[in-house]
Amino acid sequence: MVKKRQLILSVIAAILITAVLTFTFTNFMSLRLGDKVIISSSDYEIVKESRKLLTLKKYIDKYYLEPADSEKLMDGAIKGMFQALGDPYSVYMNEKEFKEFDESTSGSYGGIGVIVTEKDGYVTVVAPIEDTPGEKAGLKTGDKIIKVDGAEVTGIGLDKATTLMKGKKGTKVVLTVSRENKTEPLVIEIKREDIVLKTVKAEILKDEIGYIRISMFDQDTGKEFKRALADIKTHDAKGLIIDLRQNPGGFVTQCVEVADELLDKGTIFYTEDKNKNQVVTSSKDGKIDIPFVVLVDEGSASASEIVSGAVKDRKAGLLIGTKTFGKGLVQSVEKLGDGSGFKLTIQKYYTPNGIDINKVGIEPDIEVKALEIKEGQRPEDVKDVQLDRAIEEIQKLIK
């Protein structure tokens, strides 16, 4: 009887362990075999759900009319689990998708060059990346992409939508876009290119004012910013403008490196997880010795809001432009053993004054709305009133 009981429990344990390993998540173990814990009681509900999943999988294998690809079924189940969180920033990616995601944050990838999120069920443009086909075609922050090559993308998930938009260099993709204040959807044809990111650009403007544009925070942005700052200093710049407009964010480590150059010792931001554990990220002693302003707009999101929030709260410089996007969540990116991976929201971040900016954004110190680009106009042909105001404010500070 004892042997039979042990055999039954062993079989149950094997099923449970298989289910858990299939999902590639740690060691959820709780029944007891003798004095050994197989699965903890707190995770027993997860085990029951895993058993349900396996039962359905077996039923499909046995009765479904067509051959079923087991790997695709499990990928779909895991994707569904992440989608059910209702968080557009938490997503599971198969091996191909994770590789494409990794390439998109490491300096070079193929596509149209646009950062999107899911908002109210729509694939929504956070910001087109500077000097990419998406920007040149006229995509704007807030545009809702409703079709890609005629296929509806509303409600299919960000990963599927972005996969449809990507493709080989030289091929074309047609986006159907809903834009605020437009009664009819726009149909925009874009030719895909190899997207090579140079995230930092610098120059000297009139009156010895330095200008550094950061288009996003990739793996080398901190290093590139320090190099640009050193170059600006060699020209004896008396003031500095840092342009974070249409900057959708990126690596938090890189925005911290930028903020550390701008701020003296103190808090840059802090994070809080589901258990209310807080982690404070601080800047070190020493900062630039010239006045600066930061340009922001509705396309300034995530990591760029960390920099903006710290500058504003600590009164280190002026924020000029319009209210930022409002993404105050932190994701962990994990690669799994089979090449797949996932992003999962694990923390919320707060500005030094404890302000939660998620879905709210950061108000600038001085609001200046950009002039609207009319039909047929190129962005470079429209007067940049926000930059003009930044120059004006810097001139006041250096006189």
Q: What is the CATH number of the domain that holds 267?
A: 3.90.226.10
Amino acid at 266: G
pLDDT digits (tens, 9 = 90+) for 317-332: 999 999 999 999 988 8
**Residue 264 placed within a domain:** yes
Give the separation between CA 320 and CA 370, rounded to whole angstroms. 11
Give the separation between CA 278 and CA 282, rounded to whole angstroms. 13
Task: For residues 285 and 322, state if they share a domain.
Answer: yes
Residue 120 designated active-site: no
pLDDT digits (tens, 9 = 90+) for 91-108: 999 888 888 777 666 655
Task: For residues 204 and 347, state if they share a domain.
Answer: yes
- Region 215-233: what's the mean pLDDT? 93
Range of the domain at 139: 108-196
Secondary structure, 3-state, 91-117: EEECHHHHHHHHHHCCCEEEECCEEEE
Give yes or no for residue 210 having a pLDDT over 90. yes
Active site residue: 79, 147, 327, 343, which one? 327
**Residue 82 placed within a domain:** no
Query: Residues of 294-315 as b/e, b for ≥16 C-beta within 10 angstroms?
Result: bbbbbbbbbbbbbbbbbbbbbe
Task: For residues 58 and 136, state if they share a domain.
Answer: no
**Residue 343 placed within a domain:** yes
Task: For residues 192 and 233, state if they share a domain.
Answer: no
**Residue 30 placed within a domain:** yes
- Taking the model in full, what pTM does it have? 0.71
Closest CA to 142 of 299, 293, 288, 22: 299
Task: For residues 171 and 266, state if they share a domain.
Answer: no
pLDDT digits (tens, 9 = 90+) for 130-184: 788 998 898 988 899 999 999 999 888 777 888 889 888 889 999 999 998 888 9
> DSSP letters of 283-302?
EPS---SS-EEEEE-TT--T
Task: For residues 8 and 141, state if they share a domain.
Answer: no
pLDDT band at 12 (very low <50, low <70, confident <90, very high): very low
Active site residue: 283, 302, 304, 308, which one? 302
Task: For residues 190 and 312, state if they share a domain.
Answer: no
Task: For residues 246 and 385, state if they share a domain.
Answer: yes
Active site residue: 90, 300, 313, 340, which one? 313
Q: How far is CA 133 from the centre of its chain?
A: 20
146 touches 132 (CB < 8 A): no
Task: For residues 131 and 177, state if they share a domain.
Answer: yes
**Residue 244 placed within a domain:** yes
Residue 302 designated active-site: yes
Task: For residues 120 and 254, state if they share a domain.
Answer: no
- Longest Cα–Cα distance of the chain, Å, equals 92
Give the separation between CA 373 and CA 381, rounded to whole angstroms. 9
